[in-house]
Structure 1
Amino acid sequence: MDSFNAFTSTLGTSLVLYVSYKLLDTARLYLRPSSLHRYRYTDASGQRSWALVTGSSSGIGKCLAFELAGHGFNIVLHGRNPSKLEAVRDELQATSPNTSVRILVADASQCHRPEAVDFERIRDELASLHLTVLINCAGSGPIPAFGALETYGRDVILDNLHLNAAFSPLLTAALLPILRGQYRKPTEHLGNGTVAEESPAGPRPRGRPALVINIGSVTDDGFPLVSFYSAGKAASHTLHKALAREAALGGWSDVEIMSHRIGAVTGVSHMQAPPTLFRPDARTIAKAILARTGCGRKSVVPYWPHALLQVFLGALPVSMVDRTINKAMRRVRDEEAKKKE
């Protein structure tokens, strides 16, 4: 009996210490200052750092572009609609007149078609920039939103999966040599038909890293009524976690990779309701994402109320989690249906 009491006492103490550690570690995550400044520095020629934000014609992507410009980055805006991008560029330069802005037009949902999205061309267009930040934010749910799987056609499902799951790894693969300072585009055509290439600049100096951020979703756990969107986000999230481990495996620490899992947000394509604590606007989420930058984790829920909800769900039995998620998604679906009446 004495040995059992000693065991339970030790177990209880260990549990209290573990929970205390987790609470302190979580508090540190949301109280620590951002490390965004680590990725903002001039290159050898004096060129300021550039940040490419995909899906930046609206929503979270647009807000991230404005926040990064406010922190001193030049910006590459990406989207599929040139007129929308031009309007964002004009607005951005009006608020941040010292910011240089470029536009990259590419339909992410068609990234599987080489004639639609030429990743080599994109890489060559950006090779001359001092690119230190890539934020993979392009993504969207299907339209109409919050429908059962069988209500969507083949093209809608495939386009959405290409947008949410395929575009970010293809773009990241194309741009990693630039982010690592190891790519220079061909510059001279020789008379015999061969091409002379510039020599690679070599890896980034120590303490001068680049950053890749994936904007994921907490629906990657498998949410109803957003089934293939959920699957696409799960694939993107897993890929970026794998890429972070791949960097460690390859011994290259000059590019840091993070995946951010986002909860409910308003002010985006599928949601225009008034903001609340647990459904903030896109600007609030953008600030939270950049505030968690450089925290040393491969995956994070950047907005603390969303993280609190994840902790709560993680403590529930699976059957109760399913009922809670279904109830929440049913409510969202019904709210959207009322707006269309």
Structure 2
Amino acid sequence: MNMMAWFASLVVLGAVYVAALAFRLVRHLAVCFRGPKDIRRCYGTWATITGPTSGIGWSLAVELARSGLNLVLVGQDPAKLRDISQTICRAAPTVKTQDSSLGLSLLATAHSDEAMRRLRQTVEALDVGVLVNNAGVLEPCAVFLHEAGAEEWVDMRVNLLALTEVTAAVIPGMVDRGRGAVVNLGSASSEAIPSLPLYTMYAATKRYVARFSKSLHC
């Protein structure tokens, strides 16, 4: 009898597990096969993106614009911000852009207070429904922790503070409107790779991004 009860429990547990996997598979397939989502209707008419002047950030900014979202572009080089604004205007002529020059490596210092105040004023006046935290710093590259001086790690604060402060500036409007999406760019160095001794600080900051994102989602 005890064996039968034990076997029945295992059968029920296995059935629940298979049902959970099947539900996840069906949900994934539904996302894959449904039509494109109207981002503006789901989230809002504006997106804010950090680090949009090169690489992944540049591509994301252009794709968001092609999806019809107006963009608040946050970076520390005004000339490069103007360049990406012009690129977006050519790719999506009806899209509006606003440049917000912010020295991301100076966040949490007195030098960033005025720039952060301007950014908060900008996003408070707009229907910002999407935030993409793309800005990040990788250097110094391929060195052990003790091989670089402390001053060389200072710019790595961008990976932590830009993510945190810009999110804190943008998310109140999303909460008030009851809609919004925050996209944080992480790294396999914090999830898939057990350790990365030549990129210790980078992997550690990206682990923060992962935990921050999961906690924000909950």
Q: TM-score of the superposition, structure 1-length normalised?
A: 0.54
Code of the aligned partner of 2:207: A
Which residue in the other structure is 1:226 paired with?
199
Task: Name the SS for the 1:91 alignment partner.
Answer: helix
Does the CA contact (< 8 Å) of 1:169 and 1:236 recur in 2?
Answer: no
Code of the aligned partner of 1:178: G
Q: In the alignment, does 2:110 pair up with 1:140? A: no
Out of 230-239 and 19-28, give the one that drifted further. Answer: 19-28
Q: In the alignment, does 2:82 pair up with 1:86? A: yes
**How big is each residue's C-alpha offset from its partner over 1:3-40, in whole Å with a ceiling of 9 and x where there is no partner?**
26656655555554444444444444544455424345
Code of the aligned partner of 2:139: P
TM superposition shift of 1:69: 0.9
**How big is each residue's C-alpha offset from its partner over 1:202-249, in whole Å with a ceiling of 9 and x where there is no partner?**
x32x6xx2222222223223541322111112212222322233xxxx
Task: Name the SS for the 2:161 alignment partner.
Answer: helix
- Find the partner of 1:164 among 152, 155, 159: 159
Q: In the alignment, does 2:211 pair up with 1:238? A: yes
Within 5 Å, give how 1:1-341 maps onto structure 2.
Answer: 3=4, 13-33=15-35, 35=37, 36-39=39-42, 49-118=45-114, 119-143=116-140, 145-160=141-156, 162-180=157-175, 203-204=176-177, 209-221=179-191, 223-224=195-196, 225-245=198-218
* Cα separation, partners in 2 of 1:212 and 1:13, compared to 1, 3 Å: closer
* Cα separation, partners in 2 of 1:64 and 1:12, compared to 1, 3 Å: same
Return 5+ residue gaps in structure 1 as ranges.
Answer: 42-48, 181-202, 246-341
Task: Name the SS for the 2:142 alignment partner.
Answer: coil
Taking the aligned partners of 2:186 and 2:215, their CA distance within structure 1 comes to 14
* Cα separation, partners in 2 of 1:242 and 1:34, compared to 1, 3 Å: farther
Code of the aligned partner of 2:170: L
**How big is each residue's C-alpha offset from its partner over 1:255-305, in whole Å with a ceiling of 9 and x where there is no partner?**
xxxxxxxxxxxxxxxxxxxxxxxxxxxxxxxxxxxxxxxxxxxxxxxxxxx
Code of the aligned partner of 1:67: E
What is the count of residue pairs matched by the alignment? 211
* Cα separation, partners in 2 of 1:23 and 1:129, compared to 1, 3 Å: closer
* Cα separation, partners in 2 of 1:142 and 1:32, compared to 1, 3 Å: farther
* Cα separation, partners in 2 of 1:223 and 1:63, compared to 1, 3 Å: farther
Taking the aligned partners of 1:60 and 1:117, their CA distance within structure 2 comes to 27
The CA RMSD over aligned residues, in Å, is: 2.7
Task: Name the SS for the 1:216 alignment partner.
Answer: coil
Taking the aligned partners of 1:30 and 1:110, their CA distance within structure 2 comes to 41
Taking the aligned partners of 2:126 and 2:15, their CA distance within structure 1 comes to 54
Does the CA contact (< 8 Å) of 1:110 and 1:117 recur in 2?
Answer: no
TM superposition shift of 1:117: 4.9
Return 5+ residue gaps in structure 2 as ranges.
Answer: none
Out of 32-41 and 235-244, give the one that drifted further. Answer: 32-41
Taking the aligned partners of 1:226 and 1:86, their CA distance within structure 2 comes to 32
TM superposition shift of 1:173: 1.4
Taking the aligned partners of 1:165 and 1:40, their CA distance within structure 2 comes to 25
Does the CA contact (< 8 Å) of 1:40 and 1:73 recur in 2?
Answer: no
Identical pairs, percent: 27
Q: TM-score of the superposition, structure 2-length normalised?
A: 0.81
Taking the aligned partners of 1:72 and 1:104, their CA distance within structure 2 comes to 20
Does the CA contact (< 8 Å) of 2:66 and 2:92 recur in 1?
Answer: yes
Taking the aligned partners of 2:14 and 2:180, their CA distance within structure 1 comes to 43
**How big is each residue's C-alpha offset from its partner over 1:112-156, in whole Å with a ceiling of 9 and x where there is no partner?**
21213532232123333232222111113114x333222322122
Code of the aligned partner of 1:105: S
Taking the aligned partners of 1:93 and 1:171, their CA distance within structure 2 comes to 24
Taking the aligned partners of 1:33 and 1:150, their CA distance within structure 2 comes to 51
Does the CA contact (< 8 Å) of 2:103 and 2:112 recur in 1?
Answer: yes
